[in-house]
Structure 1
Amino acid sequence: MADTSFSTLLARQVGNELAASQQYLAIAVWFDGQDLPRLAAHFYRQSLEERNHSLMMVQYMLDRGHDVQIPGVEPVRNNFTSVVEPVALALAQEKQVTADIEAMFARARAENDALGEQFMLWFLKEQVEEVASMSTLLTIVERADNLFDVENFLAREGVGDAGTDPNMPPTAGGAL
């Protein structure tokens, strides 16, 4: 039977966050190649935000005296046939991360790990923002008459908090 302890799930999530960072980087590069600079910039920021999330988890594990191993990541998807595909992929990815975070919170609670439970609270709040902002972006991309409308929306409105929450946990090596 696989180990599903909170610390094991958290260590696994470090890899999931790094994989998400890599996927967002691939999406950003694809948008850059399509001459869509606002979409590219949005996903470059998302890539850094996911990287920072992984290093928040690393810092927490270091602070708790856990052994930390940085895993490799599987190859990411680099090619898309429409602007909707990478945004839909990003939304699906955020929904999966939300389920993973909820499972880690539940495991910490089941193990009576108050510190682990408290640590996961920030990530639960963050996932509400992540799913909502990606849902909004997908809606805008699907409704847009042309891609300039999407670019203008991002220039005018922005989407997400860009990882600037002053209450976020400390990041190993410092947040980028």
Structure 2
Amino acid sequence: MGTVTKLSTGFHTLLHSEIGNFFDVSYQHVAIAVYFDHRDLAHLAAHFYSRAEEKRRNALMVIRYFVDRNMSVELPAVGAAVSGFTDVHAPLALALENENRLTDDIAELTRTAREEGDYLGEQFGQWFLQEQVDEVARMNSLVTTARRAGGNLFRLETFVERELAGAPEKVGAPPPPSGTVWISRARAEGISSNSVPDRAE
């Protein structure tokens, strides 16, 4: 491998920022999962543990993108997660806010890639953008159902078990940023840093 190069475009700078953003949201999802776990809301806890793993894996996919291009990667500090919630609605509202923020960020970096003529970068961003559309839709449904359920937490748990448990997941330890484990896992799942990863429907 040759000399590691610095970030060279606006798209690269924005995409690099998403590494920290994905890790931040992952960390916050863990805090939300722990909140529900402590209240014996097993399905809600499992859902957010799963979302946390997916965000962490997304961060590693972005890292892989830069490593494949021999570009520098600097990992930012992860911010403190909010954990003191007054009721079940507060963590759900925060999760929705975070997903909307991620969507806006990814839309901006995808638009920047297009403006800079980086079509592979735009394609990479589009994959994440479509994933975020799905994430926001699921979170909106969860927030709405929680509001309608009021204090009936059993109803909310039933909704998560029935409607969200079957959503496409990327469960398990994410592939490492280099080496044969990543290569074999990526080939098996159709993931390439030079193209759009195949999404499970």
Partner of 2:35: 30
Find the aligned partners of 1:54 and 1:48 in 2 and give their Cα distance: 10
Q: Looking at both structures, which has the greater relative contact order when contacts are Cα pairs under 8 Å and sequence separation is at least 6?
A: 1
Q: Which range moved further: 59-68 or 3-12? A: 3-12
Deviation at 1:4, TM superposition (A): 7.4
1:148 to 2:164 alignment: no
1:55 to 2:66 alignment: no
* 8 A Cα contact 2:138 2:164, kept in partner: no
Q: Which stretches in structure 2 are left out of the alignment for 5+ residues?
A: 1-7, 186-201
Partner of 1:75: 80
TM-score normalised by length of structure 2: 0.78
Structure with greater Cα Rg: 2
The residue correspondences of 1:1-176 to structure 2 (distance < 5 A) are 5-145=10-150, 146-158=152-164, 160-163=167-170, 172=177, 174=182
Q: Which stretches in structure 1 are left out of the alignment for 5+ residues?
A: 165-169
Q: What is the Cα-based RMSD across aligned positions, in Å?
A: 1.9
TM-score normalised by length of structure 1: 0.89
1:59 counterpart SS class: helix
Find the aligned partners of 2:9 and 2:43 in 1 and give their Cα distance: 40
Find the aligned partners of 2:102 and 2:57 in 1 and give their Cα distance: 14
Deviation at 1:124, TM superposition (A): 1.1
Find the aligned partners of 2:9 and 2:128 in 1 and give their Cα distance: 19
Q: How much identity, in percent, do the aligned residues show?
A: 45
Moved over 3 A (4+): none
* 8 A Cα contact 1:28 1:43, kept in partner: yes
Find the aligned partners of 2:119 and 2:45 in 1 and give their Cα distance: 39
* 8 A Cα contact 2:33 2:44, kept in partner: yes
Find the aligned partners of 2:176 and 2:119 in 1 and give their Cα distance: 20
Q: Aligned residue pairs: how many?
A: 168
Q: Which range moved further: 134-143 or 155-164? A: 155-164
1:157 counterpart SS class: helix
* 8 A Cα contact 1:53 1:171, kept in partner: no
Q: Which amino acid in structure 2 is aligned with residue 153 of structure 1?
A: F
Find the aligned partners of 2:118 and 2:41 in 1 and give their Cα distance: 45
Deviation at 1:161, TM superposition (A): 2.3
